[in-house]
Amino acid sequence: MKRIFWISAILFGTCLAGLYLYRYYSLQSRLAEIMKIRSNTETVASVDLKTLDGLPLPVQRYFRLVLRDGQPMVRTVRMHQKGELMTDPQARDYISFEAEHIARSPEPAFLWNATMKVLPVLGIQVIDSLNRGTGASQVLFLSTFTLGSQEDVPELNSGALYRYLAESVWYPTALLPENGVIWEGIDANRARATLKQNGISATLEFRFNERGEIQGIYTEDRYGLFDGEFKKYPWEGRFRDYREVDGMLVPSYGEVGWHLPSGFWLFWKGHIQNFEYVWHEDPE
């Protein structure tokens, strides 16, 4: 009887280890794909502030504040985040998370790999990504067992592009017209930015403070998953605590939420612990 027990335990452990390794190497493969720049992607190597003429005034003011003339364009960025999530609008408490966030420009792509501790020894892993116009989201228990997974759903693809555009404040050269963003003025402190990829279009209202920093984004057209269904509710993000990193000014704090009929649901809030940039002029 003991022999059968130990054989079963060994087999179970082997299967569990195999599944874990499969998940790990699958994630590494996705990460490598995100970091890769396709050879046919046209890029401008450096920032030319003279090209800003003709943009809405708050947009010009922002770029002249956060970028330096002649600096290289961001190719990829790797960020370490710490923050809190409220996974349900009816929840009372936030769940702490730590995440690694990788993004690529000018071809929009990102991977967000977060771990949440639901109990001291039990963790939930959430992996969100966008690559070549395809959005994906996966929830894993103990980094192994799938609790939920979606990929290449039109609403998810669209929502991922909106997210990429909003989070470009952390890699601001991606917001330049040379990298595909079309700007339209609203007033002295607001402008609309539109980004298109694979037939999907995302438009956000960017809100600037008097100094020129982006302090918020807003849209009524982003899909979210509510009670198992994709629906549109107003979506808003806020940024603050700008600091200089590698010659650029980027916010070190952000938060985002949904304006629901029941009130504002602050879904995500986090601090960026560090930034690691790779530039388009850097060797492979």
Q: What is the mean pLDDT of the chain?
A: 87
Task: Compute how many other C-beta atoms are within 10 angstroms of the C-beta atom of residue 141.
Answer: 13
pTM of the model: 0.86
Both tokens of 225, joined, read: 């998953």
Bridge partners, residue 230, by sequence: 225
Q: What is the pLDDT of residues 230-268, one digit of tens each?
A: 999 999 999 999 999 999 999 999 999 999 999 999 999
214-219 vs 200-208, strand pairing mode: antiparallel
Long-range CB contacts for residues 206-214, cutoff 8 Å, separation at least 24: 206/58, 206/59, 208/58, 208/59, 208/61, 208/62, 211/65, 212/58, 212/61, 212/62, 212/64, 212/65, 212/66, 213/62, 213/65, 213/66, 213/239, 213/242, 213/249, 213/251, 214/62, 214/169, 214/239, 214/251
CA distance 81 to 276: 12
What confidence tier does 20 reach under pLDDT thresholds 50, 70, 90?
very low
Distance, first Cα to last Cα, the chain: 58
What is the amino acid identity at position 261? P
Tens digit of each residue's pLDDT (9 = 90 or more) over 172-208: 999 999 999 999 999 999 999 999 999 999 999 999 9
Neighbouring C-beta atoms of residue 273, cutoff 10 Å: 13
- pLDDT digits 0-9 by tens, 80-127: 999 999 988 988 899 999 999 999 999 999 999 999 877 666 788 999
198, 133 contact by CB (below 8 A): yes
209-223 pLDDT tens trace: 999 999 999 999 999
pLDDT at 23: 46
Whether 11 shows a pLDDT value over 50: the answer reads: no
pLDDT > 60? residue 24: no
